[in-house]
Chain A
Amino acid sequence: MTPLLELAGLRKSYGALEVLRGVDLRVFPGELVCIVGPSGSGKSSLLRCCNRLEESTGGHIIVDGEDITRAGVNINQVRTRIGMVFQQFNLYPHLTALDNVTLALRKVQGKSPAEADALGLAALERVGLADKANNHPAQLSGGQQQRVAIARAIVLQPKLMLFDEPTSALDPETVGEVLKVMRELREAGMTMLVVTHEMGFARAAADRVIFMDAGAIVEQGPPAEVFGAPKHDRTRAFLARYTAGH
């Protein structure tokens, strides 16, 4: 099987600071891969290179067979095939939930307003928020906002979804509803790359867990292995700190 996402020797530096030191990673269709690791280890940078919100400084990023680091690639078209969900939701406060979801349908895919609204409502339905279509973000709870943000991404029918700590900014009682939507997405066959500190979610839902530290993948494997019998001291130390802290 060919991977849907392949990173080959991916490097990223901010000035003199190298935050990704040659990362190799393959994500296969239908897989849910969780990335865990200490803060500052380069998890967000890795994710943001995958849709070129950050420009990588070396290596290759191949999405669905296409090297997106090549010159001349239409990055905006590529981005509609890669959905992204942010820690801070980043909903547009001046637009209703429905307009948040349909903006790219109309602007990038050129859909008619009626068609965009129908697709947008269906996407909101999938995250259980069709009844909030006409609310502005300020009228929604954190969990609801994040679900709208997920709808905004999936409405474009991406092949790959990137999640950067999607529950870290949420009140504890709304974390569950977002994780539930993510699990349903996975069951529907979505390929997902998720940076998270929700170890319970990673253990239960992930096909594979990746532990990153200092800009490199330290180890990876099925959750049971990485959480149950970590091979590296650094992984063990991180997990010990994390389970103690929570």
Chain B
Amino acid sequence: MQGFGKFLETFFNAEVAARYLPDILSGMAVTIGVGLAVTVTGLAAGLALAILRAMGRGWMRLPIVAFVDILRALPPLVLIIIFFFAFPMIGVEMSAFTATWLALSLVLAAYAEESVWGGILSLPRGQTEAARSTGLTWWQTMHAVILPQAIRIAIPPLTNRVIAVAKNVALGSVVALSEVLNLAQSATSAAGNPTPLTMAAAAYLVIFIPAMLGARRLESRFQWRT
């Protein structure tokens, strides 16, 4: 019983929690902001890359495939560290926010391109042919016939990926991005008590469990295919 009391006092210390709650909340705002920014730019860039690849200009394909492969192979933490610590050496200064946002956007773009491209590939050729036979242009066909179907196919793999990449905002703590984990670590050393770390974990759960439930609803909404 005494052990349990010590456990509570260590990890769930109300006094420490109250003191650092504002820090944690401001960290949450940063985490959510960066996560949303990454989601928007990453998905948009991935979609654009998939469309470019579908346009099928020979010289476009190779760089896109190489980009996707490289960003799927590189650990995101390595990217963030290179952007933040190495790029200033060649005159490109990046804030912790820029480095984290850019690295994770590129990573998400690669996965999104792959998912949307997979969706496009899985459609029968007849879809394009039918649309073109009624006079639709290439772009109209892409926009009204191909992408709506490809994106629906891409949604289940993509929702999970978006969440996995957005969770990596926590990696920004390594370059002192003032998201939840970073602030919690400073608070823990200042307070000499790990309750802020508990709060950081709780904060991430508060952000990402609703995100996961939302993703699940989105997936079932789009399961119209038989």
Contacts and interface: CB of A to CB of B under 8 A. Distances in A.
A55 to B, nearest CB: 12
Contacts, number: 71
A92 B224 CA distance: 13
Interface stretch (B8-16, B52-60, B68-76, B141-149): B141-149
B133 A53 contact: yes
Interface residues of A, number: 27
B129 A53 contact: yes
B134 A152 contact: yes
Interface in A163-216: none
Given A53-B133, A88-B124, A90-B129, A136 B140 contact: no
Contacts of A51: 133
Contacts of A246: none
Contacts of A107: 136, 140, 144
Interface in A96-152: 103-104, 107-108, 136, 138, 149, 152
Contacts of A28: none
B132 interface: yes
A169 B145 CA distance: 22
B65 interface: no
Nearest to B127: A90
Interface residues of B, number: 21
Contacts of A83: 133-134
A101 to B, nearest CB: 10
Contacts of A80: 134-135
B136 A90 contact: no
A86 B133 CA distance: 10
Contacts of A53: 129, 132-133
B23 to A, nearest CB: 47
Given A77-B135, A108-B140, A94 B129 contact: no
B144 A103 contact: yes
B226 A104 contact: no
A79 B224 contact: no
A94 B140 contact: no
Contacts of B133: 51, 53, 79, 82-84, 153
Nearest to A99: B144
B218 interface: no
A86 B131 CA distance: 11
Interface string A31-62: 00000000000000000000101000000000
Contacts of B130: 84, 86, 90-92, 149, 152
Contacts of A84: 130, 133-134
A90 B125 CA distance: 9
B35 to A, nearest CB: 29
A86 B129 contact: yes
Given A84-B134, A90-B124, A94-B149, 10 more contacts: A80-B134, A90-B129, A92-B131, A92-B145, A92-B149, A103-B131, A103-B144, A104-B136, A107-B140, A149-B130
Interface of A: 51, 53, 76-80, 82-84, 86, 88, 90-94, 103-104, 107-108, 136, 138, 149, 152-153, 156
Interface of B: 124, 126-127, 129-137, 140, 144-145, 148-149, 152, 224-226
* Pairs of residues from A and B, 8 with the lowest C-beta to C-beta distance, nearest first: A90-B126, A90-B130, A104-B134, A80-B135, A84-B133, A79-B135, A108-B135, A76-B135
21 contacts: A53-B133, A76-B135, A79-B133, A79-B134, A80-B134, A83-B134, A84-B130, A88-B124, A90-B127, A90-B130, A92-B130, A92-B149, A94-B148, A94-B149, A94-B152, A104-B134, A104-B136, A107-B144, A108-B140, A138-B224, A156-B135
